[in-house]
A and B are shown apart, each in its own frame.
Chain A
């Protein structure tokens, strides 16, 4: 992925004797990629600024007596750069040898086996022995969150996780502790993650080059459930999974594999293949109604802030508990589906709800935390969702099943909790929940659908997007933020207005904790970049366009659900099963 930013001015440099024109400000690393030269690196991630810590990307620049780091050195006009020669190979290999001396030799039992940047580099460099004394630090594994696993022994100190946690997400859970050889990455204050400000977004695990930060692996628990003859296992897939899951099998990012995934679920032994998109439509009915109710009866209580992202819920409860009153009480879609699977669905098919086992396939690590977040997550009388797997776990599970995913014939969803509209599917991208909500809220107020259903103002990768929607003369001010770093800016604006007694600047706010939304969630396949975000997002909007129905309130299964079971949005039963409460939580538990 070339991270070349159009700065207007082109410059020429020479790389390994070949002239290349690049925009001024491009790094040597990216300039080299433009002429198809790969400079190895362990710490530079296409999504992040260079931390310049590994020292492997060093190159030679003519008339410069020192080697320069390609990741953070901007190419200058006329530079003559050598990226590969015997000396550079020796230096890089030596650095790699040093790093390998501190890294446990546990590739075979590591979650990142065959998907590890360090392992790949060791293979490329032809490492056959370890010349230096093994110095692996004996540090305990931290599984306290049951969402993200931290194994500091495997950390190579690249700093990506700390960068993403502090500078992108602005959570400040992870920090470097100690100095020199003893430097290690850990929650600030050397406590366990669960007692830290960590929001379980998992962005650290999505950016870690090795197995130091990974999703809490629950694949074996799902296999166990599937092999238990007493259980009735059902599964649901989240909106964003269908545009990324194929990457695990060599397919293009953004390629829709929804039908194949339904087929896969049944082949794996799930009794029903449900779709979280259905529950997203349901969320819109509940949340849209909640918004319209506030807009028409108590506009002073606005803005309403969306609540489908569990990392965001945790962030709000920890950092902005004073804004809880503005939070939508709607549960996230997969929790709604879990609750319905163990009530409505169980009743309809006549299965003991205690035997229904719900597995969610999510782009997210925080959903693992969410399934046990509070007593509200047991609204059916049982834990509504039993296990939440990340996309990455589900890729591994599929590979272990012997099923050739790519050759599967697409199948249909199980309709009771499965049929979805275009509004449900766009939940997977930033701005999607807002767009889906606008489509239905407009209908709920005016009784008719929007002229064009595409709400372009809330789409795209800009950190904070704002706009005004005219709902029959009422100007509804909306804002969308993604990536908790951007979210902070927006929440501070609300807090400031509140403190100064000024009117609130927005009426409806959508928040997703990960940049780009769930398509780039902490549980999605690796090496995310803005380019990859755009590709996955394009898949999402393609799905929307191809749906015959694109507004939640027209989903026939949703209508049937209300008719047969829930009565109406915000009914007593809805509140019991589909809504939740929030509490202020401390940043640090010690």
Chain B
């Protein structure tokens, strides 16, 4: 009988490893080590706030179980029975990615993640892994491989959307005998973890993609530039690289052919700007991670001045399937100009946050409402932010807009690497943008003046506005600085730093004006612009607000209107939230 693998995920609020330990205990006590194995999964697709276990190879998923149910789950699984906790069930052990009309998802990049043991190369191979390498090395020329990638219409998933096949072709054309391929695994957008999930959940997929890339451009050395903050991804990649070398899939004469290729890991120190390709190259070379002017593009002169191409993790993860199924197949998915799928890390005020992989052209409404269950706690949708600190907001009127590179750009946002942050009516646009600006200001490399100084100046103005000192001319100042940054910054970081604030000014200028002219923040997020008072007509004197007030600044007698001491109030909003009679006013 096949061995069963139990992939366990548990939310942070549980005791650390509680469920994992429960599974281990049962397996050990019953001496089931031959038949069952428990694996910690940091990633299980859409997750809720309860523990989840996925049983492989069947792919049955259970959630909402308690520690006492673990034994039953194991017993049932080993006896081929299902358990009553099933929330999603069925055999997912299908090698070929397919659209899932029910969930509106389509898993190409994430086809294996969560379904296989990421530390087992056998699992990957069992699902058809490395057959693309075999196919390419023995039956395809580098040119025909590039032709497939070009035919697929794949575009870089790092954000800018440059056609991948073209990038490969440009690098292949260079005459230098030494060339490099690099995987940009320096994922750094706040809230984004698509790449981490691929590396942790399916590291061989990335490695296979890079081997194919190396074969296509004629390189024998690849580097994965990975942030040191991803220790599990690093550990699994290291293991995967070792396993691939042992199987002859990396190193000299891959699978006995005359193609040799190997991959090394390089750790990044967590600088966001090192996601910019020229800064990344400088960092791999051991220099300060500052961008340099392009041209020359890395395809002509990159790492150690050799032709180099850089793709991000998600882009690489698409390659094996494209080679396996053909570029034409891939091109049937998505929209006219944006092919294939896109992985989004949906976070924020949404019922079911998590990773989703959808065909290009899916609407924001489908992602947020159909797949992720809509806004939490019945609140009203306000906007989503794509592209993180380089992107922009998508207001309600664009909910039915298709997500692809061009459409997003046309409304002032960008695809970005896949972070998708959902905001509801309680989020203040000025406050949110202060956060993004602070991020970009902290992450600017400091080399070029518009970015180094401009970001700091805009942040300063936003802070002034949220403190109630805004002036009408501040909006014009923001626009002037933003123009200078967008037009005169050296790299994409500086050019896109003003994007969030410019996009929010485009759709939410009223909210800025409310802060500036009215000195009010209707969401209560900007504490200097908010005060809480008790409306004596409505207060029934229940005292709940006083009980909840963390600084005991609310006093009064039962059944008589209570009073807030403004000098002590920290504007946490707890009283406003707990009052059942709308007797606390925020203004």
A contacts, CB < 8 Å to B: 42, 50-56, 58, 66-67, 69, 72-74, 90-92, 94-95, 98-99, 101-102, 131-133, 135, 156-157, 159, 175-176, 178-183
Contact = CB atoms under 8 A, between A and B. Distances in A.
Given A67-B488, A98-B457, A133-B460, A181 B448 contact: no
Contact of A98 (B288, B292, B442, B453): B453
Contacts of A102: 453
B484 A95 contact: yes
Given A55-B448, A157-B446, A94 B480 contact: yes
B517 to A, nearest CB: 21
B449 A159 contact: no
B483 A181 contact: no
A69 B450 contact: no
Given A157-B446, A183-B447, 18 more contacts: A54-B449, A55-B489, A66-B495, A90-B483, A91-B483, A91-B487, A94-B488, A95-B488, A131-B477, A157-B447, A176-B447, A179-B445, A180-B441, A180-B446, A180-B452, A180-B456, A181-B446, A183-B452
A55 B449 contact: yes
Interface string B476-516: 01001101100111100001000000000000000000000
B446 A176 contact: yes
B298 to A, nearest CB: 16
Contact of B295 (A42, A58, A74, A91): A74
B222 interface: no
A53 B448 contact: yes
A72 B444 CA distance: 21
B279 to A, nearest CB: 11
Nearest to A76: B295
A157 B452 contact: yes
Nearest to A93: B484
A180 B449 contact: no
A156 B442 contact: no
Contacts of A51: 447
Interface of B: 271, 288, 290, 292-293, 295, 441-450, 452-457, 460, 477, 480-481, 483-484, 487-490, 495
A157 B444 contact: no
A98 B454 contact: yes
A50 B441 CA distance: 24
Contact of A69 (B271, B293, B443): B293
B447 to A, nearest CB: 5
Contacts of B456: 135, 180-181
A420 B454 CA distance: 57
19 contacts: A53-B447, A72-B293, A73-B295, A91-B483, A94-B480, A94-B483, A94-B488, A98-B484, A131-B477, A132-B477, A132-B481, A157-B449, A179-B271, A179-B444, A180-B455, A180-B456, A181-B452, A181-B453, A183-B452
Contact of B490 (A53, A91, A132): A53
Nearest to B289: A179
B478 to A, nearest CB: 11
Nearest to B457: A132
B480 A99 contact: no
Q: Which 6 A-B pairs have the closest CB atoms?
A: A183-B446, A94-B484, A55-B488, A180-B444, A98-B453, A72-B293
Contact of B449 (A66, A72, A95): A95
A296 B181 CA distance: 59
A361 B307 CA distance: 50
A90 B456 CA distance: 20
Contact of A182 (B446, B448, B488): B446
Given A50-B293, A69-B293, A179 B446 contact: yes
Residue of B445, B448, B495 most packed against chain A (CB within 10 A): B448
A183 B443 CA distance: 11
Contact of A56 (B290, B477, B483, B488): B488
A159 to B, nearest CB: 7
Residue of B288, B441, B450, B489 most packed against chain A (CB within 10 A): B450
A157 B449 CA distance: 7
A94 B443 CA distance: 22
Nearest to A71: B293
A179 B293 CA distance: 18
A181 B444 contact: yes
Contacts of A135: 453, 456-457, 460
Nearest to B461: A133
Contacts of B457: 98, 101, 132-133, 135
Contacts of B489: 55
A180 B444 CA distance: 4
Nearest to A100: B453
B447 A67 contact: no
B470 to A, nearest CB: 13
Contacts of A132: 457, 477, 481
Contacts of A58: 487-488
A52 B293 contact: yes
B481 A183 contact: no
Contacts of A53: 447-449, 490
Contact of B450 (A98, A131, A179, A180): A98
Given A67-B488, A101-B457, A52 B441 contact: no
Contacts of B487: 58, 66-67, 91
A104 B443 CA distance: 25
A91 B449 contact: no
A179 B481 CA distance: 20
A55 B448 CA distance: 7
Contacts of B271: 179
Contacts of A72: 293
A25 to B, nearest CB: 12
A176 to B, nearest CB: 6
Nearest to A159: B447
Contacts of A90: 480, 483
Residue of A42, A58, A178 most packed against chain B (CB within 10 A): A58
A99 B446 contact: no
B472 to A, nearest CB: 14
A90 B455 CA distance: 18
Contacts of B452: 157, 180-181, 183
Contacts of B488: 55-56, 58, 67, 91-92, 94-95
Nearest to A55: B488
A178 B446 CA distance: 8
Contacts of B290: 176
B568 to A, nearest CB: 32
A516 B493 CA distance: 39
Contact of B453 (A66, A67, A99, A176): A99
B449 to A, nearest CB: 5
A55 B490 contact: yes
Nearest to B440: A180
Nearest to B443: A180
Contacts of B288: 175-176
Contacts of A183: 445-447, 452
A99 B456 CA distance: 12
A492 B443 CA distance: 39
B455 A181 contact: yes
Contacts of A99: 449, 453
B188 to A, nearest CB: 13
Nearest to B273: A179
Contacts of B455: 180-181
A98 B449 contact: yes
Nearest to B484: A94
B445 A52 contact: no
A175 B457 CA distance: 25
